[in-house]
Structure formats: structure tokens, C-alpha cells
């Protein structure tokens, strides 16, 4: 095992588990305890999405960079961020859970990194994680934009008909020309 | 350059939430997690105490000076009046069966959205103020004293409950958290702590006949526009009547159906069905609201708004009432109407004039849901339906909490749906029928300022919807509740983008084939039918 990817792959399950727990620890203690039990994806969707997302991201990092793989991993991140974007978190808390992966990796691999002296590779790996963090910020912003779009559409759905019916506004008739 | 901190320290990103006892965690009011307070004019109209301008984000809620006494006396009164409340306060053993069953808890992770803890907000005061144990054991008995922060917590969490009753399904003792929420809101109303989205619709309903405050002439005008649209689509001119004395049936539906998308298409479906059957039915502008926002306030207003429908039925001399696609209208009807305003002896047991079926299930209330009426028509072969007019739709069914858990409509709507669309797929078993997940907008929480919280609570439903969307290509979710129709489009847009929300009778209206009709080229949304010349699919 000479590369950081190999090191990560060898410790993948443990790192996923640690990161997943760190993510659930961003919720109140009682909830974290309950949700860590996992279970049915329809009864415990936050935990299941977090778990699947964590697995996808770590698996992605064990492989060399590839735009297609990145796209797939962003879909997983979207699943997680879509949830966190409407969960009373600050933006940094909602999108910043990705940095907790650095914590999980460092805690697990620090001694091996020292032994193998692969700090350059480690810096590159962390840069990839930083890239994912930035992408997470974009995803978060998109979710919040969506939230406001939904508010606007709800308002429109409930009001526009009323204005039309009250003859306060009229549309252009079919085939009508200026 | 200064020396950098060691990596372990730099990496000490700790978002973990510190563990605190729940009583010590104060609610944080932020835009998106609470609904706006009741407006003073509305409170005055309803005769509710303490009308004032106030803001939940501010420290001072301007409670009346004797608010503690009012709550204590009120609590005592309710405990005496409702034995159920006393039992619910006493019998919970904190087994945790309900803990992870609430959609708001599943979506938010906020422990106070666990039904057990939501009830504990009230129970702790019950213990602290009304039981002996608290006097001896104090906080150890899980009791606490009535402070302003407790009221703030009540306001936050009893207005983050949609009274959907999913939790009570799992409770071995049958504790009905919805009723606890009812009564907590009743108590808060006594000191002027309430939300406008409940009070104003209730006030409007009392004054103009419906939640929206649509006046009789405007209601009639809006109906005319829908009649025009029906003519454009089908070539038929339907002729609904208003306040027609001696009609056989009075039809009442939520007012949301007449003005808001996508409810209006369902409304057109009703009109087409009645025309098809040549049903002796009348509408009323006085009873132009099936919903009952009074039920989200207190028993007095629930009773009054429910009684309005029956007054009108009596005045018009109809035989019975059919209700449109509404949710909580049916909760009120099935759970409370009989003891509040029933039995409706001046009406007759509903009997379908088309099939002769007698609806003995409505023997006392004399009111049936349109979905059972339509299911009966189909079962007896009385409707000529062409599924291809809903071609392209792969539908799933959202069980509205009140009609499914509240009154057991599991088969009827599915039966109707399967008869009007070519493809139907249910969502996973643990998310439908009596276990259905709420849309997040019930019990007066379908207001604009609450969208973020509602999406949070909509996660479990959205998650199941996304699953069938990806696995089976579901593109339409149908339902029989006006609040669902208002809430689910946003929910679907966020959690399962691309899924359209429809009422059931919109799809029935599309599929209904009239004798000697002009061939239809579009559906009730005025979208081209697949396979029709000029339609997008053929191009």
C-alpha cells in the first residue's frame, strides 16, 4: 500500500462509519442516537441518505479523478444537501458536513501517512475534498433557490386564478394579434 | 509567517450538538419555522381575548397579566370536560413507539417533534400544576412550573403538528396526539397566542361562507368561468344551480377548489360528473366551504362552522349532503359531528339516485364523500370511462391523513383511480393507507411563511414519491384533499421534481365519455391529449 487511495480503500468501511456518525452528530444527541440505528429508508430517510452519500463520496475518493464519477457523486451529495438545506442549519452547517470527512480520514490514517510520508498525496486528496465542499455550497444554494421558487409558485397558484376570475387581469386570446 | 496550528487542531471541525436536557433547550424562532400570529382585527371579530400586534421573534409576547391563572383554570376546565385528556396526560409510559413516527421529526430531527415529547410539553405542566408527585419530587417527576418560555415552546411545537395522527397509530395506549394538540391550541387561544392562517379563514368562513372570504357573487362568477372552460374543452354547457330549494342533494367542497390550481380542475370534474348523471344537486354560497379551520382553533368554532353546512341543508330542504374532495372536513364529520351537531334527523340516509345504493355508514351524519359515491357508480357500471384520455399518466395515490387514517378510505379512491388511468402504482406499504405520511400542511400549516418547515415535514412523503418515480416512472400523484392539492405541488417540486399533483375527480372528468359527445382534444388543464392532431407527442 503506497498510495493514499489504496490506504483509503483499505480503511473505507471504518472511515465511512466514522464520517457517517460525525454527520449524524450534527443533530441533537437523542436524534443522533436513534438515527444511527439506521433501518428502513422510508422510516429513517435522513440516516439512510447520509449513509449512502458517505459511502459514495469515500468510494469516489479511492478512485482517480474522473468527471463522470464526479457527476454521480454529486447526485449523492445533492440527496444529502437537499435534506440539510431545509433543516434549520446555518449554510456552513448544512453544506460543511463534508469537512467532517477530513476529520474522519485524519483520525484514521494519520499514523500511516506519517509512516509512508505521503504528504503530497494527502494534500491532493484534501484538495479533492475541498472541491466537493465547494460543490456542496453550490448544491445548497440551488436548494435554497428552489425553496424560494416554490414559495413564489405557491403564491401564484393561489392568487393568479383569483385575479383572472375577478377580471382584474386578462390574458392574450388564442390567435389574437397586436 | 506565524507557525500553523497542528493539523489535528485545524481539523477540529465539530458540529456535534451539545447534549442538553430538553427542558433547558429554548425554542429558537426563525423565519420559516413558525406561522405569523393572529391579527388583532381577526381576534376581535372572533371574540378571542388579547388582540394585539406581537412578534414571536421578540422577547415580549404581550401576554395578559393574569395569563398563568387563565391557563391553569383553562387546563382544569379541559381536564374536567374531556376524560380523554386526563387519560392521555396520565397513561403514557414513554415506551418510544411513537418517537420516530412523526413526519416533522423524521424530517427535522428536532426531539421536540417526537410525539412523546410534544405531549410532554403539556404533560410536564399537568404534573407540575395538578399532581401531588410534583410537589414532592419536583423536576425528578418530569414536571415543571408554568413560565413564559413554556408558552413559547407550546406555540412552536403545537403549531408544528399537523394533527395527522400517524403517531397514535403506533401508540399501544392509543394516545391521540392530535387531540392533545387541539387542546393545547385551545389553551393558547385563551391568552391570545395563535396563528393568523387559522383564525382568518375561520373568521372568513363565518362571515362570507368560505375560508377565502369569497363573496357570494364572486363565488358564482368564478364558477361561471369554470363553466366556460368546460365548454371550451368539452363543448358542453353545464348548468350548476345555487341555493335551489327542494334539490335532492347539497354539494359542499373546500373553497380552495374554486380558485386555486390544481383544485380548479377537480372542481370542473365535479361539474362534469353531476352533468353526466343529471344529478339533482345544488350548490350554496352560504355553505361554500367544506373545510373547517374552526377545528384547528377550539371546539366552539369547529361546532359552529360544521353546523353551518347542516343549517343550509335544512333551509334548502335537501335530502342529504355530498362532500367534495376534502380532508379535515371528514375528520370533523366522522369523529365529532355526531356529538356536536348530530344526529341530522331532518335529513335522509344518503341513497344514490343512480344505483340505489344506501350509504348506511352515513346513517347519522347524512353526509357522504364524493369518492364513495363515485366508486359506487363505477362498481355498478354507471360511468362510461375512457382511460386513454389520461394516457401518459403513471399515477400513484397519496392517502390524505384524514380520509385514510381518519375514516378508512383505502380502497374507494384506488378503485376510482384504477378505473380512470392506465397505469397505477402504490408507494411503499409503510408510507400509505393507515401508515400514510402527511403532506406537512394540515391543521392550518399550509401558509406561505411555513414553507421551509413544511418541506422538512414533507421529506418522508417526498422520499417515497421519489422512489416510485425512479423505479416505476410515476409522474402523477393523485389525492382527495384540498390542502394536499395546495401543498403537494411544492413538496413534489422539491423532493421529486417532475411529478404532477391532481385531484381524483380531475382524472374522472377527463375520462368521462358523454353520449354523442364531441371528441375531446384536450384535458381539463387544456393540454393537448396524446395522439391528437397538433399535440406535442405526434409532432
pLDDT at A5 over 60: yes
pLDDT in tens, B433-457: 999 999 999 999 999 999 999 999 9
Domain ranges of chain B: 22-194, 208-378, 387-511
Calculate ∠ Cα B105-B440-B326, nearest 5°: 145
B264 contact A CB<8A: yes
CA distances from B428 to B119, B167, B465, B467, B479 (A): 29, 18, 9, 8, 16
Whether B11 sits inside 8 A of A102 (CB atoms) is yes
Q: Please, which residues 9-28 of chain A have a Cβ atom closer than 8 Å to chain B?
A: 22, 25-28
Over residues B381-396, the pLDDT tens digits come to: 999 999 999 999 999 9
The question of ipTM being above 0.90 is answered as yes
Q: What is the pLDDT of residues A89-139, one digit of tens each?
A: 999 999 999 999 999 999 999 999 999 999 999 999 999 999 999 999 999
d(CA B221, CA B375): 30
- Give B465's pLDDT tier (boundaries 50, 70, 90): very high
pLDDT digits (tens, 9 = 90+) for B295-318: 999 999 999 999 999 999 999 999
The pLDDT of residue B538 is: 41
Test A35 with B16 for CB contact under 8 angstroms. Answer: no
The pLDDT > 70 percentage for chain A reads: 94
Grade residue A52 by pLDDT with cuts at 50, 70 and 90.
very high
CA–CA distance, B165 with B180 (Å, rounded to integer): 11
- Return the residue in B16, B221, B222, B440 with the most chain A beta carbons within 10 A, the one to mutate for interface testing: B16
Sign of the Cα pseudo-torsion (B166, B171, B176, B180, in order): negative
Contacts A165 to B, Cβ<8 Å: 218, 221-222, 225, 259
Q: Binning pLDDT at 50, 70 and 90, where does residue A150 land? A: very high
Among B residues 112-151, those touching chain A with beta carbons less than 8 Å apart? 114
Q: Which grid coordinates belong to A162?
A: 383569483
**Virtual CA dihedral for A123, A124, A128, A129, nearest 10 degrees?**
-20
Average pLDDT for B309-338: 95
Please say if the pLDDT value at position B268 is more than 50. yes
- What integer pLDDT is reported at residue B267 of this predicted model? 97
pLDDT at residue B135 tops 80: no
* Beta pairing class for B281-282 and B320-323: unpaired
Question: Mutate which of A23, A82, A87 to test chain B, going by most B C-beta atoms within 10 A?
Answer: A87
- The torsion defined by the Cα of B168, B170, B172 and B176, in degrees rounded to 10, comes to 0
In whole angstroms, what is the distance from residue B260 CA to residue B201 CA?
Answer: 15
- Segment B137-142 mean pLDDT: 71
Give the model's pLDDT for residue B24. 85
So what's the pLDDT on residue B527?
95
Range B9-16 contact pairs with CB under 8 angstroms and sequence separation of 24 or more: B11/A99, B11/A102, B11/A103, B11/A106, B12/A103, B13/A96, B13/A99, B13/A100, B13/A102, B13/A103, B15/A22, B15/A25, B15/A26, B15/A93, B15/A96, B15/A97, B15/A100, B16/A22, B16/A25, B16/A26, B16/A32
Q: Cell 380558485 sits at which residue?
A: B259
pLDDT tens digits along B338-366: 999 999 999 999 999 999 999 999 999 99
Q: In chain A, where are the structural domains located?
A: 4-144
Chain A neighbors of B11, CB-CB under 8 A: 99, 102-103, 106
> What's the rounded Cα separation, in Å, for the pair B185 and B187?
5
List the 122-141 stretch of A: residues with Cβ below 8 A of B: none
pLDDT value at B154 more than 80? yes
8 A C-beta contact, residue B186 and residue B194? no
Least confident of B130-139, B169-178, B275-284, B289-298: B130-139
User: Which is nearest to B212 in space by CA: B220, B221, B222, B202?
Assistant: B202
Return d(Cα B446, Cα A37) in angstroms, integer. 32
Could A162 and B259 be called an inter-chain contact, meaning their C-beta atoms sit closer than 8 Å? Answer: yes
Give the model's pLDDT for residue B539. Answer: 39
What's the rounded Cα separation, in Å, for the pair B427 and B220?
38
B476-479: strand order across its sheet: B423-424, B394-397, B476-479, B500-503
Multiple choice CATH, B387-511, 3.40.50, 3.60.21, 2.40.10, 1.10.286: 3.40.50
Between chains, do B13 and A150 touch, taking CB under 8 Å as contact?
no
DSSP string across B46-109: HT-S------TTSS-----TTHHHHHHHHHHHHHHH-HHHHHHHHH-----TTTTT-HHHHHH-
Amino acid at each position: 500500500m503506497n498510495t493514499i487511495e489504496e490506504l483509503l480503500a483499505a480503511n473505507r468501511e471504518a472511515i465511512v462509519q466514522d464520517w457517517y456518525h460525525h454527520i449524524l452528530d450534527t443533530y441533537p444527541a437523542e436524534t443522533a442516537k436513534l438515527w444511527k440505528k439506521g433501518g428502513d429508508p422510508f422510516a429513517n430517510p435522513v440516516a439512510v441518505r447520509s449513509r449512502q452519500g458517505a459511502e459514495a463520496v469515500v468510494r469516489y475518493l479511492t478512485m482517480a479523478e474522473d468527471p463522470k464519477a464526479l457527476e454521480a457523486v454529486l447526485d449523492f451529495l445533492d440527496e444529502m444537501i437537499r435534506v440539510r438545506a431545509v433543516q434549520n442549519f446555518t449554510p456552513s452547517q448544512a453544506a460543511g458536513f463534508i469537512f467532517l470527512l477530513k476529520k474522519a480520514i485524519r483520525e484514521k490514517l494519520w499514523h500511516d501517512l506519517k509512516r509512508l510520508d505521503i504528504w503530497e498525496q494527502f494534500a491532493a486528496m484534501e484538495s479533492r475534498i475541498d472541491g466537493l465542499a465547494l460543490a456542496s455550497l453550490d448544491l445548497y444554494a440551488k436548494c435554497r433557490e428552489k425553496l424560494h421558487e416554490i414559495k413564489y409558485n405557491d403564491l401564484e397558484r393561489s392568487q393568479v386564478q383569483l385575479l383572472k376570475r375577478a377580471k382584474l387581469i386578462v390574458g392574450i386570446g388564442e390567435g389574437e394579434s397586436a | 509567517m506565524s507557525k500553523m496550528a497542528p493539523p489535528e487542531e485545524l481539523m477540529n471541525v465539530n458540529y456535534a450538538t451539545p447534549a442538553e436536557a430538553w427542558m433547558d433547550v429554548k425554542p429558537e424562532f426563525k423565519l420559516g419555522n413558525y406561522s405569523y400570529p393572529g391579527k388583532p382585527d381577526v381576534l376581535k371579530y372572533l371574540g378571542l381575548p388579547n388582540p394585539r400586534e406581537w412578534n414571536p421573534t421578540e422577547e415580549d409576547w404581550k401576554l395578559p397579566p393574569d395569563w398563568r391563572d387563565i391557563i391553569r383554570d383553562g387546563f382544569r376546565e379541559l381536564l374536567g370536560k374531556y376524560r380523554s385528556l386526563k387519560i392521555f396526560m396520565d397513561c403514557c409510559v414513554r415506551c418510544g413507539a411513537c418517537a420516530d413516527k412523526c413526519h416533522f421529526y423524521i424530517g427535522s430531527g428536532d426531539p421536540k417533534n417526537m410525539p412523546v415529547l410534544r405531549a410532554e410539553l403539556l404533560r410536564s405542566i399537568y404534573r407540575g400544576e395538578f399532581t401531588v408527585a410534583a410537589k414532592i419530587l419536583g423536576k425528578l417527576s418530569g414536571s415543571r412550573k408554568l413560565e413564559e418560555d413554556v408558552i413559547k415552546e407550546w406555540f412552536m411545537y403545537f403549531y408544528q403538528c399537523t394533527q395527522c395522527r400517524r403517531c397514535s397509530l403506533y401508540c399501544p395506549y392509543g394516545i391521540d396526539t392530535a387531540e392533545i394538540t387541539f387542546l393545547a391550541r385551545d389553551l393558547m387561544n385563551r391568552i391570545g397566542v395563535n396563528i393568523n392562517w387559522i383564525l382568518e379563514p375561520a373568521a372568513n368562513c363565518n362571515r362570507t361562507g368560505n375560508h377565502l372570504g369569497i363573496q357570494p357573487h364572486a363565488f358564482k362568477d368564478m364558477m361561471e368561468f369554470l363553466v366556460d372552460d368546460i365548454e371550451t374543452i368539452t363543448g358542453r354547457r353545464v348548468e350548476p344551480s345555487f341555493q335551489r330549494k327542494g334539490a335532492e342533494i347539497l354539494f359542499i367542497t373546500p373553497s380552495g377548489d374554486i380558485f386555486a390550481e390544481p383544485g380548479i380542475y377537480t372542481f370542473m370534474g365535479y361539474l362534469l360528473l353531476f352533468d353526466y348523471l343529471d344529478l339533482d344537486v345544488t350548490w350554496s354560497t352560504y355553505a361554500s366551504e367544506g373545510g373547517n379551520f374552526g377545528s384547528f382553533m377550539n371546539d366552539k368554532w369547529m361546532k359552529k362552522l360544521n353546523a353551518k353546512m347542516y343549517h343550509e341543508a335544512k333551509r334548502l330542504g335537501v335530502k342529504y349532503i355530498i362532500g367534495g374532495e376534502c380532508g379535515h372536513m371528514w375528520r370533523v364529520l366522522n369523529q365529532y359531528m355526531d356529538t356536536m351537531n348530530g344526529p341530522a334527523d331532518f335529513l335522509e340516509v344518503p341513497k344514490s339516485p343512480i344505483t340505489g345504493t344506501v350509504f348506511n355508514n352515513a346513517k347519522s351524519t347524512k353526509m357522504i364523500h364524493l369518492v364513495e359515491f363515485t366508486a359506487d357508480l363505477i362498481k355498478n357500471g354507471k360511468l362510461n370511462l375512457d382511460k386513454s384520455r389520461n394516457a401518459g399518466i403513471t399515477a400513484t395515490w397519496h392517502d390524505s391523513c384524514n380520509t385514510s387514517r381518519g375514516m378508512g378510505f383505502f380502497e374507494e379512491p384506488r378503485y376510482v383511480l384504477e378505473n380512470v388511468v392506465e397505469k397505477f402504482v402504490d408507494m411503499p406499504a409503510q408510507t400509505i393507507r393507515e401508515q400514510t405520511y402527511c403532506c406537512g400542511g394540515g391543521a392550518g400549516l399550509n401558509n406561505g411563511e411555513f414553507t421551509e418547515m413544511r418541506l422538512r415535514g414533507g421529506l418522508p412523503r417526498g422520499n417515497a414519491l421519489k422512489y416510485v418515480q425512479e423505479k416505476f416512472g410515476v409522474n402523477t400523484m393523485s389525492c382527495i384533499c384540498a390542502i394536499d392539492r395546495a401543498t403537494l405541488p411544492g413538496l413534489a417540486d422539491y423532493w421529486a421534481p417532475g411529478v404532477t399533483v391532481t385531484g381524483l375527480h380531475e382524472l374522472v372528468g377527463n375520462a368521462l365519455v358523454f353520449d354523442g359527445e364531441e371528441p375531446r382534444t384536450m384535458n381539463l388543464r387544456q393540454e393537448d391529449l396524446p395522439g391528437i392532431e397538433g399535440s406535442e407527442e405526434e409532432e
